[in-house]
Structure 1
């Protein structure tokens, strides 16, 4: 058995709240049922910034990054046979590490896996780059790293050669978008209102049209994002800063209130607005993360009870990777145009400044770990 380290991996680490450090770690060869992924690209998500600021628990020290794609760097014999993979194959690994055995996993809702095994020192609802500390062996649990540990329970997808790495980095946010569309049961002929034209919101527009939506309206505040939404299937846009009656503007655009409203802005005001834009008996999907301490207010009878709408949270990306990879392969929408900024791992602090301040018309920024 080979026991020597495979190589050395660079990593960006959050050792504590508000601090970013660059360091290295040894990468050990995988066990028979495991593989090691060579990270090529990792997207920068607003969640990463919230983690750094301490808004999402206390996972420190943490290697962030959950929007990663790359290739097989090393693979154990059992994993190679079970997954039909070999060194050099292009892959995406889902950010969730489900147990596959709990009641939630049995339902197919592995995004809310209930696994609770204190013996391994890992949290319930294990997520790469979010809540698994670097102190958990082997320390390769986030995409801001040259290499990533992929255990037997990880969900791995093969990526086609035709999808460039920068575009492939959108597979996770697009999977989140498909999950939200699936939760809203968007089907042929539906009208859809989307609140929040960030990267995921733009991808929700494409996913809704792929699902058969007849008309889509995007609600937001940034004119450049609203303009871009039209290239991703949006038929109408509403700038909520420029109209006095957002509800009326949405109804005018769609010929009535929406069958489905999908909120992805990640602010409580947007979630409160969402329930007012849907028709009686319609569906509202709340997919934007607002932070653990955020509370949202609805009119219990006025907005919910007497209109009998479905309010459906959508968490992460379960079931979304397959349609996401198919959509990126089909390339019906200009996905590559969303990746506007590329940074090296050593430039992560500069990248965060750009994303946080929304400088230079940034849409999506990625870290390039290897070309």
Structure 2
């Protein structure tokens, strides 16, 4: 017999204009193949904020259908302890501390069957559809197909909150195939960018340069392993890269700001035959001269989405300290203060990662 209460506190999105804190929302039911976890904490992602602002990429417009399925509970940066397991679940028991990849793969599509589960065609991600409610609630149902990793009991909440973001950081850096002869530029040093800096440091590039418009973030990038940290509003970063590389340009440019100017900046400073990794989600279209990519530089332009196969590595190296985490989680608030958490997650007061703690 389960000890889980029948109702729970949950933030519920009924429409793009109607997010409500429910104090007596039905607790998820545990099916025979399911796991129910009691949430410890849930980070607030830029995607959660953009969704709450009604962005068309989530709610649809005249060009694209709605991707979200309301009503749903937001949040995909969550983890917790197993509170109940279905009768068919053999590998986990009550009390285990676990986290699941953001995506719940179908296991049946072409991408899942070839091991590319993070590109699953139905693309059901926790926190955007009611079939896979997210972590801004006291309890979450983890379905059979979820990709689960264990978290050490000794890992502090502030570190465990970074498993999901740093998993995305790792995948983006891996896409760049960095060697120890590469001059690497990471543009944007928010939570994800700082995760990229810390992981790219492990690749021992010839030089690692971080770019951001906020000096406090650049200080953190130096602390996390960048060789240089430059503010494009204060120096001509393209000119500095050209000086450093005898006029050739950087070998790798990873775009992690989501701002159009960072894209054009990268195309200007990257060398011929360079590798440009695009990680960000943009709030507006970016216009570039595509002849730079083709006729002038013959670039490899690579996308990066989610965090496939990344969690075990990230958990191990956060625990070891080789992936640095100090000072990234700047605020944890109760679910009752979700509006404040969403507001601060945009960085208006200098926060990096804001989270909801249960």
With normalisation by structure 1, the TM-score equals 0.87
Give 2:80's aligned residue.
70
Instruction: State the distance in 2 between where 1:344 and 1:252 align.
Output: 49
1:114-167 CA-partner distances (Å, limit 9, x unpaired): 1xxxxxxxxx2101113x13xx4xxx6111011111111001000112311121
What is the Cα deviation at residue 355 of structure 1? 2.6
Match of residue 19 from structure 1: 18
* Contact 2:195 2:323 (8 Å CA) reproduced: no
Q: Paired residue for 1:121?
A: none
Question: Measured at CA, do residues 102 and 154 of structure 1 come closer, stay the same or move farther in structure 2, by a change above 3 Å?
Answer: same
Q: Take 1:10 and 1:252, find their aligned partners in 2: how far apart are those partners?
A: 56
Confirm or deny that 1:342 pairs with 2:336.
no
Quick check: 1:98 aligned with 2:105? yes
Aligned to 2:65: none
Q: CA deviation at 1:5?
A: 6.8
Q: CA deviation at 1:219?
A: 1.1
The alignment status of 1:358 with 2:357, answered yes or no, reads no
1:252 equivalent to 2:243? Answer: yes
**Cα–Cα, structure 1 residues 7 and 165, in superposed 2: closer, same or farther, change >3 Å?**
farther
TM-score (norm 2): 0.91
Q: Quote the offset at 1:357 in angstroms.
A: 5.3
Could you tell me how far 1:365 is from its partner in structure 2? 0.9
Give the secondary structure class of the aligned counterpart of 1:152.
Answer: coil
How far apart are the structure 1 equivalents of 2:76 and 2:322?
25
Matched positions, count:
346
Verify the 8 A CA contact 1:42 1:67 in the aligned structure 2: yes
Judging changes above 3 Å, is the alpha-carbon distance between structure 1 residues 233 and 253 closer, same or farther for their aligned structure 2 residues?
farther
Alpha-carbon shift at residue 7 of structure 1 (Å) = 3.4
Q: Which runs of 5+ in 1 are unaligned?
A: 115-123
Alignment partner for residue 296 of structure 1, among 269, 286, 306? 286
Q: Say whether 1:127 aligns with 2:125.
A: yes
- How do residues 1-371 of structure 1 correspond to structure 2 at under 5 angstroms? 6-23=5-22, 24-55=24-55, 56-58=57-59, 59=68, 60-79=70-89, 81=90, 84-114=91-121, 124-130=122-128, 132-133=129-130, 136=131, 141-243=133-235, 245-253=236-244, 257-291=249-283, 294-356=284-346, 358-359=348-349, 361-369=350-358
What secondary structure sits across from 1:77 in the alignment? coil
* Structure 2 unaligned regions, length at least 5: 60-67
Is the 8 Å Cα contact of residues 9 and 25 (structure 2) preserved in structure 1? yes
